[in-house]
């Protein structure tokens, strides 16, 4: 029987036939497609013609397209629908893929051709897109060890292969620890303060685990409502300590050793390539292209936010005391009293809002927003295979009826799914000799599930999360590039969050939210008064939130600005890195680094600052929408043409200038956040 990964996928739009895939198919298919890709590389290196853009750079961009399709399925499922067997496969296969990548970048004959094209770039008359691909390719070779001597190449290979497996293991440990914990309650009085819908979800969870009573987990739709509403401080402390100590228990899931090993190996890798630290290596192609620029940006924002952070904290502490809290204020008190303070101050909280935020209505409204702004339409994808019964598919078409993309939506938590929310792809867009391959995009989330008596009712934070990931999806779906390496979200890490964060702004606009939000029981439209309260509360605790995000950014930069290997207590290292942003006393046994998947398991190493950097861009960009009308078709068309369609075909600042007409200003962010 032919491996389904190696056959033509006779599915709608060439989508992955998930129903045919078995775990035993992955490794043989990857080994076979690596052989095919190696043969494609050989054709390039042995081409007797002089090195040119088309026969070297463009040809290289097309190498291993089927290999990319297979690995996209493997690693996306390892994040969204994994198992112990699949995790073991990912561990086994990751070093194989890294080895193949090293074989490419360390191929001397291939690098000689790439370098020849690069050295003649100023006189070759390349288009802007060709130049961007050429520069990206050359940089990838240099950072991939192409210029190293044989001994250093050997060590580079060892490190990069080891790192690929360590990052996968890091994420596995977090998921395993998340799934292991349960807060099992059997007495009614311990449910005090919890809304009925939260209690019902916990009852369903217990029933599924064949237990009496109620079970709360560390999955966000269970954990966060408990922290906000439970009157039982001891239980809040218990679940908080479990959440903040994931992968920090001196057991087989402990990530302390992995954090140190990953950071130290990254430092060694940077040193081999001639950099002082890993951040220097990473930042070369970013908008903030030096550690100095990143640090200056973070310090500027810190100076602007810390007074507001202290103001927020003092208001919270005062309210807690007035509410009857006695003793020290601890981290497990923050969500609880903040929710009550917001309710007292604005007469609004999630339990007031959630009845208006039915997932199906939000989905329809967000799709409708994309139709209004960009003219695109979403049609249920009939007959498209999915990897889990809960996954839905959509055909996305442009205003002229032309096909743009397939969108997969996967909304609810499962034991085999990582925490959080993300956008990813099963296939990137490319255009080869006039034949365009359109992308397959996926939104994966952990939203509140429906219950037996209620539909899926989202918190306001879940609404903004949906908008955020949908913004990434627009970047992936609307792209119109020639080369896969530049299409969609293949942009500088501190630019990639602009489309996602721009979409979040609509959650605060009554012109949008007031047009669709209706109470799931009464059918009553959300009142203007309630929408105004959402708007008024937009800056609630924003100083604290900004300061907290900056703490994560300082921690990320501390790990990746190391100039000598770190050994010893990572708790002390973390505390020092985040000290100036900390407002609460430390909690013994908790640690952020060991569950900081963005930097140790994902692609945000030396890049977490990018969320705040992109907030400057999105606040400034949305200010333009506000000035022209938040649904203004000309402004939206400009954003689509100059940002969403362009991918990485030009420098981010130049793309932004074409949209905005000027450089971004931090003032819009400070004003929106109430920090100015």
Q: Using alpha carbons only, give the angle 609, 330, 195 rounded to the nearest 5 degrees.
A: 95
Backbone angles phi, psi at 649, to 5 degrees: -80, -5
- Closest to 556 in 3D by CA, of 528, 525, 578: 578
- Closest to 405 in 3D by CA, of 464, 311, 474: 474
Strands 392-397 and 377-380: antiparallel
Measure the CA–CA gap between 559 and 539, rounded to whole angstroms. Answer: 31
Count Cβ atoms within 10 A of the Cβ of residue 317 and give its class: 0-12 exposed, 13-18 middle, 19 or more buried: middle
Active site residue 158: no
Which of 172, 469, 497, 542 is catalytic? The answer is: 469
426-449 exposure pattern, b = at least 16 Cβ within 10 A, e = fewer: bbbbbeeeeeebbbbbbbbbbbbb
- For the chain, first and last CA: distance in Å? 66
What residues does 215 pair with on adjacent strands? Answer: 184
3-state SS track over 222-258:
HHHHHHHHCCCHHHHHHHHHHHHCCCCCCCCCCCHHH
Total residues belonging to the chain: 676
503: CB partners within 8 A, 6+ apart = 369, 467, 468, 470, 471, 474
- Closest to 115 in 3D by CA, of 47, 51, 41, 55: 51
Query: Could you tell me where the DSSP H helices lie in 375-505?
Result: 460-477, 497-504
DSSP code of 457?
A: B
Measure the CA–CA gap between 193 and 229, rounded to whole angstroms. Answer: 5
> Catalytic amino acids?
469
């Amino acid at each position: 029987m032919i491996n389904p990964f190696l056959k033509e996928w006779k599915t709608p739009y060439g989508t992955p036939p998930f129903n045919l895939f078995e775990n035993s198919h992955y490794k043989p298919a990857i080994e076979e497609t690596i052989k095919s890709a190696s043969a494609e590389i050989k054709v390039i290196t042995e081409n007797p013609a002089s090195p040119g853009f088309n026969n070297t750079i463009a040809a290289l961009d097309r190498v291993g397209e089927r290999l990319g399709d297979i690995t996209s399925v493997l690693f996306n499922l390892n994040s969204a629908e994994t198992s112990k067997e699949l995790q073991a496969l990912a561990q086994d296969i990751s070093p194989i893929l890294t080895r193949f990548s090293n074989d490419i970048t360390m191929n001397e004959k291939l690098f000689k051709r790439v370098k020849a094209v690069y050295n003649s770039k100023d006189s070759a008359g390349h288009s802007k897109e060709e130049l961007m691909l050429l520069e990206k390719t050359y940089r990838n070779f240099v950072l991939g060890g192409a210029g190293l001597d044989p001994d250093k190449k050997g060590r580079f290979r060892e490190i990069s292969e080891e790192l690929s497996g360590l990052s996968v293991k890091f994420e596995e440990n977090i998921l395993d620890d998340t799934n292991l914990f349960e807060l099992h309650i059997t007495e009614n009085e311990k449910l005090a303060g919890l809304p009925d819908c939260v209690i019902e979800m916990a009852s369903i969870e217990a029933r599924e685990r064949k237990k009496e009573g109620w079970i709360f987990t560390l999955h966000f739709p269970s954990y966060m409502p408990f922290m906000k509403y439970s009157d039982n401080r001891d239980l809040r402390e218990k679940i908080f300590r479990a959440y903040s100590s994931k992968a920090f228990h001196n057991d087989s899931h402990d990530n302390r050793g992995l954090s140190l090993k990953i950071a130290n190996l990254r430092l060694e890798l940077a040193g081999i390539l001639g950099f002082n630290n890993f951040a220097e290596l990473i930042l070369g192609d970013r908008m903030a292209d030096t550690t100095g620029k990143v640090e200056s940006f973070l310090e500027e924002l810190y100076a602007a936010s810390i007074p507001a952070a202290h103001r927020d904290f003092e208001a919270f502490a005062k309210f807690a005391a007035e509410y009857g809290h006695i003793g020290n204020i601890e981290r497990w008190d923050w969500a609880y009293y903040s929710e009550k303070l917001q309710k007292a101050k604005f007469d609004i909280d999630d339990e007031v809002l959630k009845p208006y935020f039915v997932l199906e209505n939000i989905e329809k409204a967000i799709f409708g927003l994309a139709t209004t702004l960009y003219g695109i339409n979403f049609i249920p994808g009939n007959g498209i295979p999915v990897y889990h019964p809960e996954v839905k598919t959509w055909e996305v078409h442009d205003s002229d009826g032309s096909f743009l993309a397939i969108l997969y939506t996967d909304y609810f938590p499962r034991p085999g799914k990582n925490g959080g929310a993300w956008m990813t792809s099963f296939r990137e867009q490319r255009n080869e000799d006039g034949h365009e391959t359109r992308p397959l995009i996926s939104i994966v989330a952990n939203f509140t599930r429906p219950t037996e008596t209620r539909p899926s009712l989202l918190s306001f934070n879940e609404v903004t999360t949906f908008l955020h990931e949908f913004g990434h999806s627009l970047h992936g779906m609307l792209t119109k590039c020639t080369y896969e390496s530049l299409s969609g979200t293949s942009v500088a890490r501190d630019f990639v969050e602009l489309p996602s964060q721009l979409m979040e702004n609509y959650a605060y606009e009554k012109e949008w939210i007031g047009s669709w939000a209706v109470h799931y029981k009464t059918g009553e439209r959300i009142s203007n008064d309630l929408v105004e309260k959402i708007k008024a509360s937009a800056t609630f605790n924003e100083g604290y939130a900004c300061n907290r995000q900056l703490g994560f950014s300082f921690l990320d930069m501390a790990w990746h600005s190391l100039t000598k290997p770190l050994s010893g207590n990572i708790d002390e290292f973390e505390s020092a890195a985040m000290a100036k942003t900390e407002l609460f006393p430390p909690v013994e046994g908790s640690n952020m680094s060991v569950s900081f998947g963005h930097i140790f398991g994902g692609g945000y190493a030396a890049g977490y600052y990018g969320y705040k950097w992109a907030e400057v861009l999105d606040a400034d960009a949305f200010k333009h929408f506000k000035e022209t009308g938040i649904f203004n078709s000309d402004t939206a068309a400009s954003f689509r043409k100059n940002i969403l369609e362009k991918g990485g075909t030009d420098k981010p600042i130049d793309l932004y200038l074409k949209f905005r007409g000027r450089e971004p200003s931090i003032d819009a962010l400070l004003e929106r956040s109430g920090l100015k």
